[in-house]
Amino acid sequence: MDEIGKKKTLLVALGGNALIRKGQRGTVDEQFENLKVPIRQLARLSKKYNMIITHGNGPQVGNLLLQQELSRDIPKLPLEILVAQTQGQVGYMIESSLDSELMALGIIHQKPLVSLITYVVVDPDDPAFMSPSKPIGPVYSKEEAARLPFPTRETKKGYRRVVASPRPLTIIEKREISKLIHMGFIVICCGGGGIPVIREGRSFCGVDAVIDKDLASALLAQEVGVDLFIMATDVEGAMVHFGTPRQELLRRLTPAQAEQYLQEGHFPPGSMQPKVEAALQFVRNTSRRAIITSTASIQACVKGTTGTQFVL
């Protein structure tokens, strides 16, 4: 087997906070600065591992929606196009940051990079389409919300548009991604959970929905056959009694334990629940390890010393 074939493959899913931290305005300078933390570690890890990088797009797609609201004369773009835009923009930012870090390590020539626009198939009969639940984009007043052409829901911040978040069924580019990995490329893909599409005969078309990036990443990790699946976010890992004085980091979880904590309601939908579900799915289907950790601890978590480690 060649050198690349012998290496293990990591899939690292970067959360939105890898680019924009809570409380920041989210300028491009801030985003590039924040990215250095995970990307420096990924550059080092790429010496030893093949690598797939996926990423969130919550704040980025939210800003694009806000821009659309403010420029009413320009035809509005559907959500699937906005997801594609964020795959391009965040893919570019990750790729160029990684390029600089690989250059600094002197290994740029051994590590070609590529960002892929990625489509993810969903089921048109997914029950999520009947009850859109994922809040996205700007906050509206009650009066504004009543006049909007799409469903909204009252959230802590105010009224927000809600869209369906169907389950991912398969990643269209899985074979291309596998091939690129085996050719030695670092592949950046599945941004924002992928562009949601439904099959129509032999072709497919985009739908107004968003796919959870952790669930899409877990699926890709299984379809490509990665050895280790890492979700990097802004907390040290999954905790019980989160946000209370009894809060405690879970260091090691079997599927049965994770299932129990899920049922007890320790992990809310839309943030920690999909991460734990994604880890569970990967571990159950592959018998390999999945980890939830902070963006600052990616390198350490591979050694098994940080984060929440999911094992059989």
C-beta of 233: minimal distance to ligand ADP in Å? 3
Cβ proximity to ligand ADP: between 23 and 106 the closer is 23
Q: Which of 174, 213, 237, 307 is catalytic?
A: 213
Question: Among this protein's residues, is 179 annotated catalytic?
Answer: no
Angle of helix 255-263 relative to helix 272-286, nearest 10 degrees, comes to: 150
C-beta of 307: minimal distance to ligand ADP in Å? 11
Integer Cα distance of 28 and 198 in angstroms: 33
**Per rule CB under 6 A, is residue 17 in the interface with ligand ADP?**
yes
For ligand ADP, the binding residue among 210, 221, 235, 283 (CB under 6 A) is: 235
Strands of the chain, DSSP E: 9-14, 50-55, 113-115, 119-121, 134-140, 152-154, 159-163, 170-171, 186-188, 195-200, 203-206, 228-233, 239-240, 248-249, 252-253, 289-294, 308-310
The Cα-based distances of 200 to 26, 31, 37, 168, 215 in angstroms read 38, 38, 42, 16, 23
For ligand ADP, the binding residue among 7, 9, 12, 16 (CB under 6 A) is: 16
**Per rule CB under 6 A, is residue 267 in the interface with ligand ADP?**
yes
Cβ proximity to ligand ADP: between 7 and 161 the closer is 161
Q: Which of 7, 15, 16, 62 is catalytic?
A: 16
C-beta of 111: minimal distance to ligand ADP in Å? 25
Question: Among this protein's residues, is 213 annotated catalytic?
Answer: yes
C-beta of 170: minimal distance to ligand ADP in Å? 22
142: burial class by Cβ within 10 Å (0-12, 13-18, 19+)? Answer: exposed
- Ramachandran angles phi, psi of 294, nearest 5°: -90, 160
Q: Interacting stretch for ligand ADP, rule CB under 6 A, among 44-52, 183-191, 221-229, 234-242? A: 234-242
Cβ neighbours, 10 Å, residue 153: 13
Instruction: Return the residues of window 19-78 that contact ligand ADP according to CB under 6 A.
Output: 56
For ligand ADP, the binding residue among 55, 266, 288, 289 (CB under 6 A) is: 266
C-beta of 58: minimal distance to ligand ADP in Å? 6
